[in-house]
Structure 1
Amino acid sequence: MSKQVQLSAAARTHHGKGASGRLRREGRVPGIVYGYKVEPTAVSVDALELYHALHTEAGRNAMIRLDIEGATHLVIARDLQIHPIRQETQHVDFLAVDTDSQISVEVPVALVGEEDIAPGGGVVNQILYTVPVLVRPLDVPNAIEVSIEGMEIGDVKRIEDLTAELPEGAEFDTDPETTVITINAPVSEAELESLEEGVGAGSDDTGAEPAPVDVIVEPAEAEEA
């Protein structure tokens, strides 16, 4: 379940790009707090402390006890703006939550039993790496474990197959028929060469470009997400 972490915030009285830029140069991240029993409040937090708060086992779903100059709120980081080059957090939205009400969160999918796939050389094709879950804040799981032990080529696991992994009272916030995992037949070297030759054979002497052909090749071994 999500681990609660402590984080201190300071209220912001100056707004705009200039004020936000000064905060970032001082090692702070501008943000806003809104939601349950809190008026929208502009704040800033220490960049390093925020990084550590969001890098526990719970990841970005960590429940944060945010202290704003003496007033404490239970929040979750709902939206982060990341610099495209430096990968630094530029702004953060904190959603204050009610522990008795469900929230929607994206929970990572963790595969287990990959070494025990049925004989035959099946290749794991993971479609979803996170799944949306409606759950009470203090019950948010760190991950949804999906066992692929014994699965064979052609087997599929959908959202509806994972309900046993949910905490009591939680539910998936998506179509139960949504595919999460499939087991595909591997593509041999001979088949790959044949596909490549087929693409080359599409050219002619007229100088015209051949019609594009999509070639999708699953890797021989899938890495664990």
Structure 2
Amino acid sequence: MAEVKLAAELRTDFGKGAARRIRREEKVPAVIYGHGAEPKHIAIDSHALMMALKTPNVLLRLDVEGKSELVIPKAVQREAIRRFLVHVDFLAVKKGEKVTVELPIQIEGELAPGGNLLEHVLNTLPVEAEATNIPESVTVSIAGLDAGHSVLAKDIALPAGSALAVEDDAVVLQVVSAQAEAPAEEAAEGVEAGAEA
């Protein structure tokens, strides 16, 4: 995973008013924490940060007024409607250090014919990986799976250097029968027919 370098500035004003002022300047208020150090309150250019966060679990090298900080995003708050960045929490990391992250799950292949549905029990897969080598995602093949089949965490091939941070037998995906809803629909039609009579 490549590092993304961004400039950040320390901030000394806190509270809602200060945060609004920072956002008016097209910057995002953020905090760096970790390694037992005092949290650092910073501001980062909103457009540059938004572009960097398009990569899940991106590794950022922040230049905080001449000092370099290696971080990963841990909590990203967005405005509910327009989705602009409101606040970001960063975790300071070091080369060789292990961190727990949530990897997006990419699906490939087609289910067995029959109109069955794929249910995502987990939307992301928790894994432990080296902070400077976090995979972008994991890929799961659902080719030929039929109703009643499940994909467990242990069935997913992890990128080198990663380990599961969830129980091996945790269900990640399952295939459910679309016909399970048909009797309920037929019953509703029967009630309507009875009402018309």
TM bucket, shorter chain: 0.7 to 0.9
* 2:67 aligned to which of 53, 67, 71: 71
Report the equivalent of 1:146.
Answer: 140
User: Pairwise CA RMSD of aligned residues?
Assistant: 2.5
Instruction: Specify the code of the residue in structure 2 equivalent to 1:20.
Output: A
Moved more, 87-96 or 43-52: 87-96
Report the equivalent of 2:127.
Answer: 133
Task: Work out the percentage of aligned pairs sharing the same amino acid.
Answer: 37
- Written as runs of structure 1 = structure 2, the 5 A alignment for 1:96-175 is 96-114=92-110, 117-162=111-156, 164-168=157-161, 170-175=162-167
Distance 2:45 2:92 in 1: 19
Instruction: Specify the code of the residue in structure 1 equivalent to 2:133.
Output: D
SS in 2 for 1:160: helix
Asked if 2 retains the 8 angstrom alpha-carbon contact of 1:4 and 1:64, the reply is yes
Asked if 1 retains the 8 angstrom alpha-carbon contact of 2:75 and 2:88, the reply is yes
* TM-score normalised by L of structure 1: 0.77
Distance 2:75 2:181 in 1: 44
Distance 1:38 1:10 in 2: 18
Report the equivalent of 2:11.
Answer: 12
Shift of 1:148: 0.9
Question: Would the alpha carbon gap of residues 65 and 38 (structure 1) be closer, same or farther in structure 2, given more than 3 Å must change?
Answer: farther
Shift of 1:199: 6.9
Asked if 2 retains the 8 angstrom alpha-carbon contact of 1:37 and 1:96, the reply is no
Report the equivalent of 1:27.
Answer: 26
Report the equivalent of 1:51.
Answer: 50
SS in 2 for 1:138: coil
Moved more, 34-43 or 73-82: 34-43
Q: Please list the CA deviations of residues 35-89 of structure 1 after superposition, one character each: whole Å capped at 9, or x if unmatched.
A: 248542111001111101101xx32x00001110111111011112222233221
Shift of 1:99: 2.0
Distance 2:158 2:109 in 1: 15
Shift of 1:28: 0.9
- Name structure 1 gaps, 5 residues minimum: 204-225
Question: Would the alpha carbon gap of residues 38 and 4 (structure 1) be closer, same or farther in structure 2, given more than 3 Å must change?
Answer: farther
Distance 1:199 1:66 in 2: 64
Asked if 2 retains the 8 angstrom alpha-carbon contact of 1:38 and 1:96, the reply is no
Distance 2:17 2:33 in 1: 23
- Name structure 2 gaps, 5 residues minimum: none
Moved more, 84-93 or 153-162: 84-93
Distance 2:131 2:148 in 1: 37
Shift of 1:186: 2.1
Asked if 2 retains the 8 angstrom alpha-carbon contact of 1:6 and 1:53, the reply is no
* TM-score normalised by L of structure 2: 0.87
